[in-house]
Amino acid sequence: MEKRRFFQKVGKTRVIPISAKILLIFAILLLFSNFATNYINIVLHRKETMDLTNQMLVRDLKDMYINAGNQYEIFLFSGDRDSALAAISGAAAKDMIYEHSWALGVAENGLILFQAESGLIYDLFPDMDVLREMQYKRADGINEGACFFNSQQGEYFGVYKYNSEWECFLIRADLMSDMMSASNTVFLQVSVIIVFLTVLLGAVGFIALLWILRFIGKISTGLQYMQTQQGLNLIDLKDAPNDDVTYLGISFNALSATMNNLLTIFRKFVSKDVVTKAYEERQVNLEGVQKELTILFSDIKGFTYMTETLGNDIINLLNLHYDRAIRVIHEQQGVIGSIIGDAVLAVYGAIETYENKSVAAVESAWEIQTVVAELRGKMFQRRNTIETTRALTPAEERVFKAVLLDIGIGIDGGTVFYGNIGSSEHMTNTVIGDSVNLASRMEGLTRLYRLPVIVSSYVKDEVESSTNRYKFFEIDTVLVKGKNEGTKLWFPLDINRFTPEDIGHFELFAQGLQAYYEGDWKTARSYMKKSVLDVAEVFIERMGRGSAPEDWSGIWTMTTK
């Protein structure tokens, strides 16, 4: 027998040293043990990754939901829907950590209102079965949860929550392959390390075996093998994921702190102009300035009767009215100054726009009247439906009369004080000035003159300088309580809302009013009767059958506010 060497032959048979067999078995068992341990660790790691990803997605969704609410308030003030949706998308994009992270708002019909995603852009939600499942859950009262859905890029895992303001599902999701890619990379790196460690330990074990099995001899090849496998600097690669995670964690914390700071600021504002200032200066101060604004004052007529009749249900009626009226004001860039029971004070011009503030106020007034008319129309339809089977009871008649809203609106403008008053703990945005008082008194005069809207000369002049849509008819010249000079009252007739016949009636009234001013009450009565307007009846009753007083100036003195 030849001198022993590795894989030496005895005749034609190759003899494998026992140490090599032990080493091979030891290596196989070691590799199997390490790979099995590593596989179990990766499975647990993936579960932990899913849990952590779910927590991050929920946190991102919460931020997106809060931001969507804030952007909806801004949209109500600005009327710019596209910018609000783009702002939601942009803010959501900042929270994304994977290549194919996805944040989107999906309407119930599947249309995507907005989305932030670095891959494909969709017009419709790619998995309608999942959308229907979310809709079924919403019908059962479940407005949020987790979901898996398919797309052209693969399977996504995400969380969702329904936003009633935008009427859509807010979804924050990550691609499953992206989520698992880090685990796969770690698995590959650890596998390489296991191979190297197994080889190294095998070499060490082989040496040990050679020492134990010294009588088997020949360790030179094993030693060379051990020497050639000393390259464990690769283990440094496993530290890279830890650095990345730490860096992403620090970046997210910094972004989270910034977002929380912005949310704290946004919670302080009550109107769009305050929002803009708070965003620019990062604070809200107790301060005010003199500013030229247009003031709209709206009040519900017969509110005492309504309150006595409806009781606590008056709140529901007011909310129904305010929900639509305030939306109209915001669409015209108006700012709600205050809401006191049945009265609303709106300010125009506080937000810098290119629109004429008085035009916006007058348009708001007519839109509010349209909203009220639509509500009255629905009430009449409801009454007609009931009366097809029976007559209304006396109690129902009182309720019907109470819910027929009738709104009076007065508008004036000029230089007023506008700003924040209160304390460092609680403050409110307010407007103070003579124009505010006059707008309120003009609203009160709508009851006397039986008109829906009355405006001042200031509003008339500013509107006429910007548009020909409104034809102004003078209503009267009155001396309101607390004033030394007569104040002209005007009715802003919208030529898009009134017929030529209506305009003709007001023109007859205008001729009658001119005769009234000149003291020719006989001629005035003739024109007033021909105009068949409710406001003309006021003058016919005022003049009676007599003539104008000898000291007649054409100014009617008001004895009440």
Q: With 50 as the cut, is the pLDDT of residue 226 above it?
A: no
- Region 224-251: mean pLDDT is 39
The domain in which residue 170 lies consists of 62-178
Q: Is 559 found in the same domain as 474?
A: yes
Q: Residue 75 above 80 pLDDT?
A: yes
Of 257-261, 288-292, 320-324, 474-478, which has the strongest mean pLDDT?
A: 474-478
Q: Are residues 395 and 320 in the same domain?
A: yes
Residues 149-166, mean pLDDT to the nearest whole number: 89
Average pLDDT over residues 69-84: 87
Residues 373 and 473 in one domain: no
Total domain count, the chain: 3
Helix axes 239-266, 176-212, angle to 10 degrees: 150
Q: Which of 113-122, 334-343, 419-428, 478-487 has the lowest mean pLDDT?
A: 419-428
409, 502: one domain: no
Across 317-321, 341-345, 432-436, least confident range: 317-321
Residue 256 clears pLDDT 80, i.e. is over it: no
Pair 301, 418 in one domain: yes
Q: Classify residue 372: in a domain, yes or no.
A: yes
Residue 105 lies in a domain: yes
At 220, is the pLDDT very low, low, confident or very high (cuts 50, 70, 90)? Answer: very low
- Residue-wise pLDDT for 367-408, tens only, equals 999 988 888 888 888 888 888 888 888 887 787 777 778 889
Tell me the helices (H) and strands (E) count for the chain, helix number first: 16, 16
Whether residue 44 lies inside any domain: the answer is no
Whether 290 maps to a domain, the answer reads: yes
Q: How far is CA 369 from the centre of its chain?
A: 27
Domain at 103, CATH number: 3.30.450.20
Instruction: Determine which of 325-334, 426-435, 467-476, 529-538 has the lowest per-residue pLDDT on average.
Output: 426-435
Identify whether the C-beta of residue 442 lies closer than 8 Å to the C-beta of residue 412: yes
What's the CA gap between 141 and 82, in Å, rounded? 30
Residue 36 covered by a domain: no
Is the residue at 72 inside a domain?
yes
Please give the Cα distance from 470 to 496 (Å, whole number). Answer: 8
| pLDDT confidence bin for 14, thresholds 50/70/90 | low
More confident: 16 or 460: 460
Quick check: is 432 in a domain? no
503 — pLDDT class (breaks 50, 70, 90): very high
Distance from C-alpha of 143 to C-alpha of 136, rounded to nearest angstrom: 10
Q: Are residues 417 and 289 in the same domain?
A: yes
- pLDDT class of 46 with cuts at 50, 70, 90: low
pLDDT tier at 452, thresholds 50, 70, 90: very high
Nearest Cα to Cα of residue 114 among 84, 138, 134: 84
Mean of all residue pLDDT scores within the chain: 76
Of 361, 396, 427, the residue that ends a domain is: 427
**Contact criterion met (CB below 8 Å) for 524 and 552:** no
> Does pLDDT of 508 surpass 90?
yes
**Residues 486, 423 share a domain:** no
Task: Give the model's confidence band at 89: pLDDT under 50 very low, under 70 low, under 90 confident, else very high.
Answer: confident
- For residue 33, is it within any domain? no
Tell me the C-alpha to C-alpha distance, in Å, between residue 303 and each of 296, 345, 403, 463.
Answer: 19, 17, 10, 31
Q: Are residues 71 and 161 in the same domain?
A: yes
Q: Which of 132, 150, 178 represents a domain boundary (last residue)?
A: 178
What is the 3-state secondary structure of 165-220? CCCEEEEEEEEHHHHHHHHHHHHHHHHHHHHHHHHHHHHHHHHHHHHHCCCCCCCH
Residue 48 pLDDT greater than 80, yes or no: no
385 and 519 share one domain: no
Written as six digits, the tokens of 485 are 């000079």
Among all chains, which residue has been given the structure tokens 């499975």? 43
| Same domain for 543 and 414 | no
Shared domain for 297 and 399, answered yes or no, is: yes
Asked if 422 and 539 sit in the same domain, the reply is: no
Final residue in a domain of this structure, among 154, 178, 202: 178
**How far is 369 from 211, CA to CA, in rounded Å?**
103
Task: Identify the pLDDT of residue 214.
Answer: 46
Q: What is the pLDDT of residue 31?
A: 65
